Amino acid sequence: MNDIAELKQYVAAHARAQNIPAEQYQGLLDRIRTDDDGTPGSWSGELTRAGDHLAEHGRLLEACRQYTMARFPYVDSAGRRTAQERCVATFDCWRRTVPLDITPLTVRLPEGEVRCWTSGLDPDNPRPLLLFLGGIVSVKEQWAPLLGQIRDLGMAGLVTEMPGVGENTLPYHAKSWSMIPQLLDAVSGSADTEHAYAVALSFSGHLALRAALEDSRLQGIVGAGVPVRAFFTDSAWQRRVPRVTVDTLAHLTRTPADELPRLLSDWALTDIQLGALTAQVGMVASLRDEIIPREDLELLRRHVPSLRLIAHDDVHGSPRHLDETRLWTFLTVQRMRGEGGEHRARLHEALRRERARLRALPPTADTTVTTGTGDTGGTGDAGGSGGSGGSGGTGGPTLATTGPAAATPGPAPEATR
């Protein structure tokens, strides 16, 4: 059974990521007293009923967001299973009501099924492909509304889940990275998979980096809060990781929690592997990340030749910088592709305005912004270069820091993604 206080602590970031107003989710969380299965006052019971109420009033996407919270962090009971199923069914109803070509795709692989939401797949007009993968606790329905923004990039989109998460029935193990090349194979007839990119959050970013070493079709990766090596090998750090993260990894890997250190140690990426990456890499880091150690960030800076990096003074997932991160992510994808033009200029201007908004906030540890040279460079993005290393990282790793650059990393009570 999950610790309710810890669940409340960590789910708030996922609520913010889905644009659920604090006044809406806080009252719900206050009513939750137990993790008993589906009963009044229980985690899955209260949040599922909130979703049902919204669905009955035709507010389908809002209902879906409540269901994603109700099944958090993973399906371990009948109540969470119900929430998971209603999340998928309600999203399916919602996508039929909007002017987006969101279509389902099931890819059957030897170890199980991968279910996806897609847009822009067209055998007569194959577009470059953008894969979007959430982390160990977020389902594809949380991210699939972004398919409209992926379409605006001029790309086909495929949003899916990590092995073991949501409707993905694959086991999560050391070779799970092979799911990504198999997904590229599955859509190669309707997308330009020779020019594929990935936005991969947290642990899925580790899969994407590993896959890029084996498959040159993956030409660019933008990750956020990605474990690289120290997370998998540093036993002292592992003892500090939040219980919800440990329990979720144990569930997905089908391994007792006390055996995780032995299992995960073989997943670490070496210096040679990082240096051999030919895919361009962009990374969002959180300087007070309570899940991913600072050493993993430093490994990327030292060894990945093409690295673009933005670091927020925030906790895992940078929940207080969500809009900035979203804009930077899509802008970085366009830079990797060498795409200029009006849409890239609009992204750059929106990012500039968001950073100006953050600067105008009271100067607290979470909202003070100092920007480095790689992403707001003096010449302006529409003109091409964004500053040092700004046109693909050829000048070396680019670091844009939001928040005090000297922030000390360590445990902080927020956000697992």
Any domain includes 413:
no
Any domain includes 242:
yes
Return the pLDDT at 46.
Answer: 95
pTM for the whole structure: 0.87
Any domain includes 358:
yes
Is the domain of 113 the same as that of 250? yes
Q: What is the mean pLDDT of residues 387-415?
A: 34
**Cα angle vertex 379, ends 375, 385, to 5°?**
55
Range from 27-31, 85-89, 177-181, 262-266 carrying the lowest mean pLDDT: 27-31
Return the pLDDT at 15.
Answer: 83
Any domain includes 17:
yes
Percent of the chain scored above 90 by pLDDT? 74
Total number of domains constituting the chain: 2
Q: Which of 26, 60, 95 is the last residue of a domain?
A: 95
Q: Which domain holds residue 42?
A: 4-95
Is the domain of 290 the same as that of 366? yes
Is the domain of 260 the same as that of 284? yes
Q: Which of 95, 122, 150 is the last residue of a domain?
A: 95
Q: Which of 95, 117, 148 is the last residue of a domain?
A: 95
Is the domain of 118 the same as that of 51? no
Any domain includes 180:
yes
Residue 290's domain is classified under what CATH number? 3.40.50.1820
Is the domain of 17 the same as that of 164? no
pLDDT in tens, 130-163: 999 999 999 999 999 999 999 999 999 999 999 9
Any domain includes 81:
yes
